[in-house]
Structure 1
Amino acid sequence: MSRADTASERRTEIIAATIRVLARDGLAQTTTRKIAAEAGVNQATLRYYFGSKDDLLFAVLQEMMKLTGEIARRARAGSSGSIREIIADSLIAFWSSVEESPELQIIQYELTLYALRHPASSWLARQQYDGYCAVVESLIQEAFAAANLTCAIPVADLARFIVGGLDGIILQFISDRNTVRSRRDIDHLTSAVIALAEGAPSSHRES
């Protein structure tokens, strides 16, 4: 294994250890000492690979963004059939991953707010949501192209609606862990997304 490979592997191990500490103790109680102990390295090694605690936390946020994108793509890959089925299957598959690891969602929100508090890193928060929307937009485009159909509203608009809806449901779920209600909310979101995608007329519009 080359030195570059070894360094990349060590960085990956440290990021994974940081995620475990954040999930267990929360951002406020996460220290470089705890991270080093979890990763099995000394604090000098942490500084060598990441420079500062902030640099490490921002690297973790980027890794969380990557993981969320991968979850969304796996959800889409496991679905087939009509546009309605693809939307429904993808949303429920993604939601299942939220229910399985709610602590990862808490980490993302904590790190997003942390980044926004630091002007030099606020771009990470913007990049995070731009990245999520880009992934969802790509998946929607692929689904419509495969079905030889056209989305009734701009795909970018639909993608942001989906991300915004999921964000709200996730925040409520990690607050009270009400699985029954959150599943019902996901069903409602699915119906709204399908209606927008297919161009169903809104009830508040004049005929």
Structure 2
Amino acid sequence: MSRHEARRNEILVAALAVLAREGIAETTTRKIAAEANVNQAMLRYYFGSKDELLFAVLRELMRRTQDIVRQAAQGHTSWRDVIANGLRAFWEHVEREPELQIMQYELTLYALRHTDSAWLAQQQYSGYSRVVEEALRDYIAPDTCSLSFSELARFIIGGLDGLILQFISDRDPARARRDLEHLITAVIALAESR
């Protein structure tokens, strides 16, 4: 990794930390720069605008999600196991870092409230759909699934969104895990239905 890439990653990690800790309303480029030990000019050099930095944060979170799903899929030959283990692994991440989930919802709402930033919300959901769709495409034969991969991906994301919102509201991991198992059962049944 070049020095430029390393510095950019340090700033990205700092942005994630500040956003998760303080929320989007309290996050400023000044706070991110201080967390990263750089000046604001350096922040602008690497990311341009605040929206571009927020988009980089979303891309980083998508990359992490993709890594979680790929790792969970390793060693499994059954697509049903890949779906179940991928969703369970992602859920472990949700329970471990719920503040990142809160931050993502804040980013979505921020983007939707600011016309100039609305593209962030669209990019966020299309990006997550792409990540899930690619994972499905990698492990499920197209003639096996009754829905298109994009439809199944949106169903999975919609189900996860609901579970995440409930979990970050009440922090009941036992109930959330039971509900996750119902989602897994529903996803597999939906994929298999003809």
Please, which of 7, 10, 16 is the counterpart of residue 19 of structure 1? 16
Say if 1:47 and 1:156 are closer, same or farther in 2 by CA, change over 3 A: closer
CA distance in 2, matches of 1:58, 1:86: 29
In the TM superposition, residue 143 of structure 1 has moved relative to its aligned partner by 1.9
Larger Rg: 1
* CA distance, structure 2, for counterparts of residue 138 and residue 33 of structure 1: 37
Structure 2 gap ranges (5+): none
One-letter amino acid of the counterpart of residue 139, structure 1: A
How many angstroms does 1:59 deviate by? Answer: 2.4
2:96 corresponds in structure 1 to 100
- Whether the 8 Å contact between 2:72 and 2:82 is mirrored in structure 1 is no
Deviation at 1:149, TM superposition (A): 5.8
Residue 8 of structure 1: aligned partner: 5
Aligned length: 194
Alignment equivalent of 2:175, drawn from 160, 177, 181: 181
> Over aligned residue pairs, what C-alpha RMSD do you find?
2.1
Distance 1:62 1:135 in 2: 11
User: Contact 1:72–1:135 (CA<8 Å) still a contact in 2?
Assistant: no
Give the stretch that moved more between structures: 179-188 or 122-131. Answer: 122-131
What residue number does 1:117 align with?
113
**TM-score in terms of structure 1 length:** 0.83
- The aligned counterpart of 1:165 is 159
Task: Tell me the secondary structure at the aligned position of residue 46 of structure 1.
Answer: helix
Does 2:69 align with 1:72? yes
Q: How does the TM-score come out when normalised to structure 2?
A: 0.88
Aligned match for 1:153, one of 147, 150, 164 = 147
Instruction: Tell me the percent identity.
Output: 61
Superimposed CA distance per residue, residues 94-132 of structure 1 (whole angstroms, 9 cap, x where no aligned partner) = 111111111111111111222222323322221221221
2:130 matched residue in structure 1: 134
**Structure 1: segments with no counterpart, 5+ residues:** 201-207
In the other structure, the counterpart of 2:33 is 36
